[in-house]
């Protein structure tokens, strides 16, 4: 009986106790270098049990149930390994597991990333392109959006990229000025930016609360790079023509040190758009010391310099005459192309990261970064003037003569045939011929004008940059722990301090001896005179240094600092069980913005110099999600979140170049987002269908333009602010990847969305010309009431997009694929001022000839034509030695050379009914909509050697 009792107890222990002691462990190495691989994903197929390898490549899976299982070992760039194990109260040591490079993934992933790098450096709306964030995703829909839809400047769910967070080593890189990442800060460093952890939408991240479009954390730890090197050459007719790149990493060496270095050079006299020069180089260094299994310290340095010539949007009149590659920003100087609009980005950064493995289940990552440098955007100023020696104006001040220079822009409206037709000029055909034959910037004419005796040696024209130079310091700490086998906790605290210097700087006097820093168009009216303000005062951009004759390198026009501080933190708990996973997360932040003027603008004597009132915003966010596993291969996923966002620096100040005015009623933006997905994951089929909704309230947007017809026939250069904007984004996403054979698969993706304004926001216009007006405040800001935007479509790229394609992978290491992509529902960006009360008023008096039906047609939003773009890609890999490979990749975009509009905007120049009606009545409007066009047929070729 005693033996029987012990036997029963022993059996029960086996059944209920020892099964929890099933353990699988092993060590993962690179098959070529035999280096230890950290961060390899280890999971149990069909079970919610997973881990990753540690710094010595080791892993342990505990508490596995009895039975037969498949252990899945996966890492980007390697072939996935599957190990069957049979467990029954036992421990299985898989020993050393070698990971073999996936030749297809290596070269195909590299090629798609360099395509993204190229697209992101286009100057149309690429600053808001989301594809750079998505390149780490393995989801078929998101990768299609990144690499097939990006050339049409498609936006995920119609949202701007400030709704996503881009991090490097856990530090957020989104700009405080715009909320968006500045991709050029690390452009050309594709080889060393491939270790990425992407979270889609509201899904949980171990590093950040994120945004409604998700987050992406790029790791640059030197120990995570595979030992070896790569050199490559690429050629394209897109943004750059030539690119060379070299990378080498030591891997983790026996003494605990690891090093990784990379550099690249990209150049072009011109890309697809005429005159769009390109000159960029990038360097990268990462050094890590692994002190023990618990502590590691990593230093990263990135310096990327990018100078590229911009391309202009054009009216259809200009495009019909000159074609879609035409660019008016450039001209020949001494036989060489010179672009007047250069974007120059140099913002290097350094990071120090400490990684602490407190125990097997808890880590603490502490990071410090410092970024400095600036961004310059050049253009020609033609507001030259001189002081008449010994001549005084009516107030007894020196008399300032306007040198009356003409606008040098070849597409200036008075130089185009449409203007000749409107004005009844005698030689319209001659205007057409002159523009068709020439139509480029005449640099020699600018130098000649500056050399004319009438200038008195002063420059009538000058080339200058609008610059912002930032000093940004960030420190944060990120805590991750497994509370139990099923519950994990993530938390972080972040602090960022930034000083942003904003000013205009002369970079070329174009042959002159100086440039008088005055606004020649400023003129005192009776209200100014009554207040003791003279025209001389109004003309001074800086009364602290009147009549300043600026030289190359001098600041002029405006000079102010923007001071910001951000403190934020988040906490998140994740629960993982066999059938259900769910998470809850919350965030809290405090943001402050302040302007500090260094110039005393003559138009705003009391409100331009010194510090503004500090603007402070407290924000919070909450989100949660639930994943229900119907089976291991069929999943339902639900997410919901609500968050508030502080306004960016750009949107906080009403007219920051001239005064301290704060946007009236400025407040934090509110975002509500929901999505629901059905996901299928089988060896043959990978698919996802998602329905989504995002609602935005209290958003603010600012823009600058030149407007006629404000308050009657008045003309002014203005800053326009829309405040209290509501938007609605609703739609569905689909992605499917069907493996027909071991070598052939079909891919498809679709987005069906509708993105609209959901209210009539408030419209404010700021201009120095408004100072003293009875309906403007002391900052020259006028309240135009509501702008009737409700139900107009947002200009967010195609709102419907479809893709279908195939991919063939031959066992002999070559592959080929092609896709057809269809785009629908792309809309023009509308002008809010024409939808305000100003449209129907003639200086406060309603137009007597106003016709409601004509007005409705004038204000109809333009919808672009639908179009299809066909692309093809292919590649081949060769193994030429024991650990040496050659890879070749080529792609052709827009094979059939389809012309299509990717975006555009209404010119705000015709701001009232009568002017807009008369202009649109012409066969060719003088101030027609301006458009960006997609590229025609393009190619990209990349050859690389790995060792």
Kindly tell me if the per-residue pLDDT of 14 is higher than 50.
Answer: no
Note the pLDDT of residue 33: 62
Three-class SS state of 671: strand
Q: How confident is the model at residue 771 (pLDDT cuts 50, 70, 90)?
A: confident
In 888-901, which positions are buried (b, 16+ CB within 10 angstroms) versus exposed (e)? bbbbbbbeeeeebb
pLDDT for 715 equals: 60
pLDDT in tens, 368-377: 999 999 999 9
Kindly report which listed range (118-122, 171-175, 304-308) carries the lowest average pLDDT score: 118-122
Q: Are strands 330-333 and 314-315 parallel, antiparallel or unpaired?
A: unpaired
pLDDT for 38 equals 77
Residue 424 has φ and ψ, to the nearest 5°, of 70, 35
How confident is residue 780, by pLDDT bands cut at 50, 70 and 90?
A: confident
| Least confident window among 40-49, 481-490, 890-899 | 40-49
Quick: pLDDT tens for 119-146.
444 443 434 455 555 555 668 898 888 8
- Print the SS3 string covering 27-68: EEEECCCCCECCCCEEEECCCCCEEECCCCCEEEEEEECCEE
Question: Can you give the pLDDT at residue 95?
Answer: 86
| C-beta atoms surrounding 845 within 10 Å | 8
Taking Cα atoms as reference points, which of 83, 61, 87 lies closest to residue 70? 83
The contacts found for 876-884 with CB under 8 angstroms, 24 or more apart, are 876/813, 876/814, 876/815, 877/103, 877/104, 877/106, 877/107, 877/813, 877/814, 878/813, 879/103, 879/813, 881/947, 882/32, 883/32, 883/33, 883/228, 883/947, 884/945, 884/946, 884/947
Note the pLDDT of residue 131: 52
Q: Contact at 8 Å (CB) between 348 and 380? A: no
Contacts 24+ apart (CB under 8 A), 875-881: 875/107, 875/108, 875/111, 875/814, 875/815, 876/813, 876/814, 876/815, 877/103, 877/104, 877/106, 877/107, 877/813, 877/814, 878/813, 879/103, 879/813, 881/947
- pLDDT for residue 656 is more than 50: yes
Selection from 734, 736, 726, 731 nearest residue 681 by Cα = 736
Percent of the chain with pLDDT over 70: 92
Residue 72 pLDDT: 87
Give yes or no for residue 503 having a pLDDT over 90. yes
Q: Looking at per-residue confidence, does 266 or 41 come out higher?
A: 266
**114 — pLDDT class (breaks 50, 70, 90):** very low
Task: Tell me the pTM.
Answer: 0.88
Q: How confident is the model at residue 32 (pLDDT cuts 50, 70, 90)?
A: low
Contacts of 292 (CB under 8 A, 6+ apart): none
> For 622-637, how does the pLDDT look when each residue is reduced to its tens digit (9 = 90+)?
999 999 999 878 999 9
Structure tokens at 887: 């890879």
> What does the pLDDT read at residue 136?
55
Q: What letters, b where the CB count within 10 A reaches 16 and e where it falls short, cover 808-838?
A: ebeeebbbebbbebebebbbbbbbbbbbbeb
Please give the span between the terminal C-alpha atoms of the chain, in angstroms, as a whole number: 70
Asked if residues 185 and 137 have their Cβ atoms less than 8 Å apart, the reply is no
To which residue do tokens 């701001």 refer? 911
Distances (CA, A) of 894 to 4, 548, 818, 819, 891: 79, 52, 11, 10, 10
Which regions of 549-684 does DSSP assign to beta strands (E)?
549-550, 555-576, 580-597, 610-611, 615-629, 634-645, 669-681
Which is more confidently placed, 740 or 13? 740
Query: Does the structure show a pLDDT above 70 at 704?
Result: yes
**Which pLDDT value is given to residue 770?**
81
Report whether pLDDT(536) > 90: yes
What was the pLDDT predicted at 137? Answer: 64
The proportion of the chain whose per-residue pLDDT surpasses 90, expressed as a percent, equals: 68
What integer best gives the mean pLDDT of the chain? Answer: 89
d(CA 717, CA 544): 24
Cα separation, 555 vs 466, in Å, equals 10
The average pLDDT across 699-715 equals 70
pLDDT of residue 104: 52
103-120 vs 140-147: helix axis angle to the nearest 10? 50
Residues 465, 376 contacting (CB under 8 angstroms): yes
Pairing mode of beta strands 462-482, 362-371:
antiparallel
Our CA dihedral for 164, 168, 173, 174, rounded to 10 degrees, sits at: -10
Return the pLDDT at 1: 45
Would the pLDDT of 46 be above 90?
no
Write down the pLDDT at residue 714: 55
- State yes or no: pLDDT of 329 exceeds 90: yes
Q: Tell me: the pLDDT tens digits for 79-93?
A: 778 888 888 888 888
pLDDT class of 258 with cuts at 50, 70, 90:
very high
pLDDT bin (cut points 50, 70, 90) of residue 589 is very high
pLDDT exceeds cutoff 50 at 2: no
| Residue 102: per-residue pLDDT | 65
Q: Check pLDDT > 80 for residue 400.
A: yes
Distance CA 829, CA 815 (A): 40
Q: Tell me the sheet residues that pair with 689.
A: 678, 734
State residue 13's pLDDT score. 39
Cα 317–chain centre separation: 30
Neighbours of 583 (CB within 10 A): 20
Least confident range from 48-52, 248-252, 536-540, 697-701: namely 48-52
Do residues 405 and 384 lie in contact, with contact meaning Cβ atoms separated by under 8 Å?
Answer: yes
Mean pLDDT of 329-338: 95
**Residue of 488, 221, 255, 505 lying closest to 375 (CA atoms):** 505
Lowest mean pLDDT among 3-12, 185-194, 500-509, 841-850: 3-12
């Amino acid at each position: 009986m005693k033996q029987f009792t012990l036997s029963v107890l022993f059996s029960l222990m086996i059944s209920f106790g020892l099964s929890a002691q099933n353990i699988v462990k092993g060590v993962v190495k690179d098959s070529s270098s035999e280096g230890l691989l950290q961060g390899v994903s280890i999971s149990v197929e069909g079970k919610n049990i997973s881990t990753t390898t540690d710094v010595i490549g080791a892993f342990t899976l505990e508490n596995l149930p009895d039975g037969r299982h498949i252990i899945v070992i996966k890492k980007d760039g390697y072939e996935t390994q599957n190990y069957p194990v049979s467990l029954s109260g036992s421990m299985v040591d898989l020993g050393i597991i070698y990971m073999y490079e996936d030749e297809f993934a290596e070269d195909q992933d590299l090629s798609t990333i360099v395509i993204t790098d190229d697209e992101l450096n286009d100057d149309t709306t690429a600053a808001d392109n989301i594809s750079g964030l998505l390149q780490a995703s393995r989801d078929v829909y998101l990768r299609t959006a990144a690499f097939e839809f990006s050339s049409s400047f498609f936006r995920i769910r119609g949202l701007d990229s400030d709704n996503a967070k881009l991090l490097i080593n856990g530090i957020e890189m989104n700009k405080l000025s715009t909320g968006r990442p500045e991709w050029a800060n690390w452009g050309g460093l594709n080889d060393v930016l491939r270790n990425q952890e992407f979270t889609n939408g509201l899904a949980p991240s171990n590093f950040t609360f994120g945004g409604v479009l998700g987050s992406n954390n790029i790791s640059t730890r030197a120990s995570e790079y595979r030992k070896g090197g790569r050199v490559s050459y690429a050629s394209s007719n897109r943004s750059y023509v030539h690119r060379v790149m070299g990378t080498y990493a030591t891997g983790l060496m026996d003494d605990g040190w690891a090093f990784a270095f990379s550099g690249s050079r990209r150049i072009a006299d011109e890309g697809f758009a005429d005159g769009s020069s390109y000159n960029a180089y990038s360097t990268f260094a990462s050094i890590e010391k692994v002190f023990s299994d618990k502590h590691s310290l990593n230093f990263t340095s990135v310096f990327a310099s990018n100078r590229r010539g911009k391309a202009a949007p054009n009216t259809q009149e200009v495009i019909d005459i000159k074609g879609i590659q035409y660019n008016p920003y450039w001209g020949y100087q001494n036989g060489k192309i010179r672009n007047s609009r250069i974007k120059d980005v140099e913002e290097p950064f350094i990071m120090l990261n400490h990684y602490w493995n407190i125990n097997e289940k808890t880590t603490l990552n502490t990071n410090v970064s410092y970024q400095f440098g600036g961004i310059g955007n050049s253009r020609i100023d033609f507001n030259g003037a001189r002081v008449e020696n010994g001549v005084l104006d009516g107030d007894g001040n020196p008399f300032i003569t306007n040198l009356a220079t003409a606008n040098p822009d070849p597409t200036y409206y008075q130089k185009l045939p449409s203007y000749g037709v409107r004005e009844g000029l005698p030689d319209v055909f001659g205007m057409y011929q002159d523009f068709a034959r020439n139509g480029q910037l005449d640099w020699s004419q600018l130098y000649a004008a500056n050399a004319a005796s009438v200038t008195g040696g002063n420059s009538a024209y000058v080339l200058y940059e609008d610059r912002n130079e930032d000093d940004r310091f960030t420190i944060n700490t990120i805590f991750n722990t497994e509370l139990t086998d099923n519950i994990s906790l993530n938390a972080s605290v972040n602090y960022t301090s930034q000083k942003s210097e904003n000013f205009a700087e002369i970079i070329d006097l174009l042959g002159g001896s100086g440039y008088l820093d005055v606004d020649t168009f400023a003129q005192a009216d009776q209200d100014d005179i009554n207040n003791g303000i003279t025209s001389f005062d109004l003309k001074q951009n800086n009364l602290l240094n009147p009549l300043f004759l600026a030289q190359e390198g001098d600041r002029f026009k405006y000079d102010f600092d923007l001071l910001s501080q951000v403190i934020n933190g988040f906490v998140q708990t994740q629960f993982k069980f066999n059938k259900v996973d769910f998470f809850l997360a919350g965030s809290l932040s405090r943001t402050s913005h302040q302007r500090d003027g260094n110039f005393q603008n003559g138009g705003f004597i009391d409100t331009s110099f010194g510090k503004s009132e500090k603007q402070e915003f407290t924000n919070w966010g909450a989100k949660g999600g639930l994943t229900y596993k119907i089976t291991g291969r069929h999943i339902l996923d639900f997410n919901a979140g609500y968050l508030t966002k502080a306004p960016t620096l750009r949107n906080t100040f009403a007219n920051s170049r001239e005064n301290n005015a704060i946007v009236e009623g400025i407040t934090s933006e509110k975002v509500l987002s929901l999505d629901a997905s059905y996901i299928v994951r089988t060896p043959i089929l990978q698919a996802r269908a998602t329905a989504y909704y995002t609602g935005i309230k209290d958003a603010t947007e600012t823009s600058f333009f030149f407007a006629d017809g404000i308050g009657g026939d008045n003309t002014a250069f203005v800053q326009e602010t829309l405040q209290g904007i509501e938007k609605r984004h609703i739609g569905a996403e689909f992605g499917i990847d069907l493996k027909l054979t071991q070598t052939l698969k079909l891919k498809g993706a679709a987005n069906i969305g509708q993105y609209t304004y959901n209210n009539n926001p408030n419209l404010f216009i700021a201009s120095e010309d408004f100072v003293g007006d009875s309906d403007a405040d002391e900052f020259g800001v006028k309240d135009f009431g509501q702008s009737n935007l409700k139900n107009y479509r947002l200009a967010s790229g195609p709102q419907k997009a479809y893709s279908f394609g195939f991919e063939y992978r031959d066992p002999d290491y070559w592959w080929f694929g092609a896709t057809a992509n269809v785009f629908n529902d792309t809309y023009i960006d509308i002008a809010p001022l024409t939808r305000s009360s100003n449209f129907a008023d003639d200086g406060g008096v309603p137009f007597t000839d106003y016709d409601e039906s004509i007005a409705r047609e004038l204000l109809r939003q333009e919808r672009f034509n639908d179009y299809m773009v066909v692309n093809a890609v292919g590649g081949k890999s060769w193994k030429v030695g024991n650990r040496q490979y050659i890879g070749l990749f080529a792609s052709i975009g827009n094979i059939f050379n389809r012309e299509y509009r990717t975006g555009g905007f209404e010119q705000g120049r015709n701001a009232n009914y009568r002017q807009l009606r008369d202009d649109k009545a012409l066969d060719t409007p003088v101030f027609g909509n301006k458009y960006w066009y997609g590229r025609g047929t393009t190619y990209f070729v990349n050859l690389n050697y790995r060792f």
